Structure formats: C-alpha cells, structure tokens
Amino acid sequence: MTNHKKIAVWCLWIVLWPSCLYTLYRTLNPAIQGNEIEIAAFMILASIVALFPLQVGDNPVFFTHGIAFAVFLYYGLFIEILVSQVALLFLMGKLRVRKADLYRVPINFLMFLMISVFSALLYYLLGGTHGDDAVSSFDDALPVTVYAVSQILLNQFSIKLIARYLYNKQVKWVDCGLLWDVLTACLVLPIGLVLYIVYAEFGVSAVFFVGIPFILIAGMLMLYHNSSQVNAYLKKTSIIGHELTGKLGVTEVLDLFVKRISQLLPLDYLYVFDVTSEKQLTLIHFFDRSGQMQLANYSLFKGESVSGNTLTQRRSFYYKSKKEWHHLNHACIPENAESVMSIPVERNNEIVGIITVYANKKQAFMQFQFMILEILGNYLGVAIDNARYYEKTKAESERCALTGLYNYRYFENYLHRVIQQWKDEQRKQPISLILMDLDHFKVINDTYGHESGNEVLCILAERLQQVIHNQGLIARYGGEEFVILLPECSTDEAEFLAEEVRRTITDKPFISYEHLLSGKKPKEIKVTASIGVATYPDHCEEALELVRHADRAMYVGAKQQGRDKVASYEALLETVEG
C-alpha cells in the first residue's frame, strides 16, 4: 500500500470512528448502566475467543461473531460494536501486527464498524427487536437470519474491496476464505443463538456455561485447521519432491525449487548457497518477491551471517524476530527482514549447500513450515546430485567423445527442431548447412596411424570452433565428416564461411605427436577438405533434404571436381539448368 493511502486511512479513521461511535451512543441510548459486569463478561469471552483465529490465505477467520450475535440480540448495536472492537484489538495483538503495518488497525476497525451498522439496519428494517423478546416467535426468524447472512457477505465483500482497491491485488470473489466463513458461521452462530437464549433466561452465568464450550470449540477448530494445513503442505511437498526428480539440469532444478518454495511459504527473500569449500559459501540462486534487490556472485565465509552460522553449527535455525539474530546481521541481508529460517543441505553426511529464507514479518513462519523446509532441503540435495548425473550422461550421449563436438544423433534432432520452429513461426530467414569431408583421410590413417588420425580430427574441431564461434552449431557427422548448421544465414554468407573453413584446414598443416613413423619428432600432415553448402527453404522443404543437398554439392561439386573446394547446391542447379 502506498504512503498516500496509509495517510488517507488514518485520517478517515480519526474522522469517522469516534464520530460514528458518539452518534450511535447518543441515538441508541444503550443500556450500559447496571449491566457493566455482564457487558464486561461478554468482552472477556469475545477477547479470549479472538485468540484462536484461523489463518486462511492473507485473512484471519475468527469466531467472535457468534458472541457478538448474542450481544446484538440482547443489548443492541452499540454494545455489539464495543464487544466486537475490543475483541478485534486482541486479535491484532495475537497476529503481532508490525509497526509498518499498523494501518491495518484503522482499516479493520472501520470495516467491522460498517459491517455492524449495515447489518443492524437490515435487521431493523425487517422489524427486529432486542432484549428478552428478540427471538420470541417465528416472525423473528427472518430478521435474525438476514442479520447473520449479511454479516458473512458484508465481511467477505469488504475484504475483497480492500484487497483490490487498497492493496491492488487480484481477487476471487468466491474463494476458500468465503467457504471457511460460511462453514464456521454455520457452527458458531447457532451457538451464539444458544448463548443469547441461555443468557436471557439465567443471566451472566450463561456467559461461563456456554462460553467455556465456545472457547473449546474455537480451539478445536483452530487445531483442525492447522492439521489440515500441515496435511496440505505435506501433499504439496510430496509433489515438489516428485517434480525435482524429473530429467532436469542443475539450473532447472534450482529454478523449479525456488519457484515452488516461494509459492509455498510466506517468504520475501530466498538464498541458496553452494558450499564451495570448508570455509566458504557461494550464492547460486537468489529470490526477492518485490524484485527490488539484486544479488550475484556473492560469497560468505564460514560463520558469517545467518547462512555462514548454519554451516558452522551444522544444524537448522529458526528465528522469529530480528532481535534473535541481530548479532548475525550482514550487508547481504535486507534491512526489513525479521523472521528467518536457515537449513543445511546434506548429501552423504556432508553439507553441500545452505538454504536461508527471510520474511519481513515477525513470526511469519509456523513450526511445521520449518519442518517442511528441512524436508525440501533434503529433496534438493538428492535432486542436484541426480541433475549433475543427468547432465553428465546427457552430455555423453550428445557429444562425440573424441572431439567434444555434438554427435550425429544430437545434430539430427536439433536440425528437425530448428526447421519445425521456422515453420511454426512462419519465419522467412534462411537456414544454411555446411557439410565437409576430409580428403583422403584413409591415407592419413594408413600412413601415420589411427592415433594421428584422431589428433587431426581433434585439431580440426578446435579450428572449426575458432571460425564459427556462436554463429551456428558444429557436429561430427561421422568418421571424417563434419557438419555446421547456420540459422539466419544465406547461401552467399554460408559459402563465405565455408571458404574460410577450407583455408583454415589447408593453409596450416596439422601436427601429429602420436604417429607411427620412425623418430619421435612431431610430423606435419597436410590436410584438405571438400565442402558442400545448401540452404533452406531455397533448396528444400524438409530437414533431411537439406542434408542430402549439401552432401550432393560436396561430392559432385567439390570431390568430383578435384577436391579441396567449396561447392553450393545452388551452383549445381544452375549447371544442370544451363
């Protein structure tokens, strides 16, 4: 919320709240004198019940409306407002509203004041009364029911309006908050009605006879809701663990982990450190929900900051407020951070990483969320191990073990993907392919030995990478054949590059140290290559046709014309047509 809105809220509360209370007091003339003990008893009961809220999303659901219902039926609107506002004050204390969030106090006080007033107006318009006769006949059912329903609907409507226009949040008019409000109202309001009836009959003792079970019900509902939350978190944790075991690389695992954790926990900042040595941690992933803070290439020493302390102590930590960890404060920690959870990531009894999360709110995390983070930390340790193994095996399956270039299988799949992408996106830019074959390579193997042949292939791979850089993809197509795919490259541009590749091979001899010839001195080997060029979509419509046309250009246009040449499929077509 902006500062202008906060100031407006405080000003509105200062103007409206006391004036509304004073006006209602003067207009309704509530029966306070002589009933101070009874009213105080209701306030105490409502305040105790307010200490057992259910946290549903961003909004707490609490059960004082059942008590306020009984007070309204007997004493009227003004006393009901007093009881509700006192209970609301205790609720705010229970939620430990931060100093920076104190604007929530006037918002809630005004919201519940308006809800009480509008619900009462409907009640009075339908002929509702107060005292012993408020519920004395069947005719009283309509105003009582409308009052109860309007309380629920106005409460949810007010919450959504505040979220949308004050906090600029996207809202769902029907969500779990509304569901919980309706379900708890179906349980609490009938008890409130019983409280009214017993109080009308027996007086203040009813507050204790009905109030104690009321408190127990509120406590049991809170425990039930908390256990449901734990079960829901455990299910989500299991799903996240399953997701992390997929075929992912290390970066993908970290991205997925941070994304899911930020969705699951009420955190504002998340740090993932890699333990690079016994005494140092390196930041490998950082998340800031506000997007205002950026950290990269950041390191900590053992014992430094909260994360470094976790490494030193070799155990998890949960701090509920800044005063508990102020001695570990560090420049990398946001100034407004309060709650902290920090856990070690272990693999094979060794700490391989540290996960630390911060929230700007005190006591932002519950104990079971701390447990959930520890479970997910264990998942992450296993997932990163699996990801590293997956990356290794994937690289081995995609790369030529000798040259380090991509292999035939990877190139075929990549070529099909690129061509399909061009078709899907209806792109007009050309894609060129260079296919080359070393001339008389068998002679090199027969003369100098296969080890020398391998040396030539490795040196050639290095020279190709120096020429092509990031302009395209280079692969060993098989044996002494190499292929270069050049997206967004025309035939003329590809021919120019192919000629540069040819000169790189021809102009500088290849040095062999593992030859079979007599003497141990390195031998210079003269190598040439025949090269063919074809372009999509100028010369073909399918991926395999592109390879075939480049191959034909290489054999017909280069090898059959004396080798050590560059030939394009386009030139072959012109020769045929001519």
Cβ neighbours, 10 Å, residue 225: 18
Q: Where are the beta strands (DSSP E) in 11-161?
A: 54-56, 59-61
pLDDT of residue 296: 73
CB 259 within 8 A of CB 242: no
* Tens-place pLDDT, residues 410-421: 999 999 999 999
Residue 346 reports pLDDT greater than 60 = yes
With tokens 């949810």, the residue in question is 156
Question: What is the chain's mean pLDDT, rounded?
Answer: 88
pLDDT of residue 391: 82
pLDDT of residue 61: 64
Which whole number is the average pLDDT over 78-82? 94
pLDDT of residue 1: 64
* Tens-place pLDDT, residues 163-217: 787 777 776 777 666 776 777 777 778 888 888 888 888 888 888 888 787 778 7
Closest CA to 355 of 297, 422, 285: 285
Residue 67 reports pLDDT greater than 70 = yes
How far apart are the C-alpha atoms of 432 and 553, rounded to whole Å? Answer: 13
Provide the residue ranges of all domains of the chain, joining segments of one domain with +. Answer: 3-221, 250-395, 408-577
Closest CA to 566 of 437, 428, 472: 437
Residue 156 reports pLDDT greater than 70 = yes
pLDDT of residue 64: 83
Q: How confident is residue 495, by pLDDT bands cut at 50, 70 and 90?
A: very high
pLDDT of residue 317: 95
pLDDT of residue 186: 77
Helix 250-264 to helix 367-398 angle (10° resolution) is 160
CB 529 within 8 A of CB 564: yes
Residue 342 reports pLDDT greater than 90 = yes
pLDDT of residue 116: 93
How far apart are the C-alpha atoms of 342 and 355, rounded to whole Å? Answer: 6
DSSP classification of residue 131: G
Residue 505 reports pLDDT greater than 90 = yes
Domain formed by 3-221, architecture: Orthogonal Bundle (1.10)
pLDDT of residue 550: 94
Residue 364 reports pLDDT greater than 70 = yes
Tell me if residue 103 falls in helix, strand or coil.
coil
Residue 577 reports pLDDT greater than 80 = no
Residue 444 reports pLDDT greater than 90 = yes
Which whole number is the average pLDDT over 30-47? 89
pLDDT of residue 221: 73
pLDDT of residue 6: 85
CB 272 within 8 A of CB 407: no
- What distances in angstroms separate CA 179 from CA 23, 61, 144, one per listed residue? 35, 11, 21
pLDDT of residue 51: 84
Residue 462 reports pLDDT greater than 90 = yes
Residue 219 reports pLDDT greater than 80 = no
- 250-395: CATH number: 3.30.450.40
Q: How confident is residue 102, by pLDDT bands cut at 50, 70 and 90?
A: confident
pLDDT of residue 297: 76
Which whole number is the average pLDDT over 548-560? 93
Which whole number is the average pLDDT over 4-30? 90
- 161 or 565: which carries more pLDDT confidence? 565
What is the radius of gyration, based on Cα positions, of the chain?
A: 38
- 363 or 311: which carries more pLDDT confidence? 311
pLDDT of residue 174: 72
pLDDT of residue 201: 87
- 460 or 331: which carries more pLDDT confidence? 460
pLDDT of residue 92: 81
- For the chain, what is the largest distance between any 2 Cα atoms, rounded to a whole number of angstroms? 121
* Tens-place pLDDT, residues 289-308: 988 888 777 889 999 999 99
For the entire predicted model, the pTM comes to 0.60
pLDDT of residue 60: 63
Which whole number is the average pLDDT over 236-244? 91
DSSP, residue by residue, 449-510: -HHHHHHHHHHHHHHHHHHHTTSSEEEEEETTEEEEEEET--HHHHHHHHHHHHHHHHSSPE
Cβ neighbours, 10 Å, residue 381: 20
Percent of the chain whose predicted confidence (pLDDT) is above 90 = 52
Q: Between 3.20.20.70, 1.10.10.10, 3.30.70.270, 3.30.460.30, what CATH number should domain 408-577 receive? A: 3.30.70.270
Which whole number is the average pLDDT over 380-398? 86
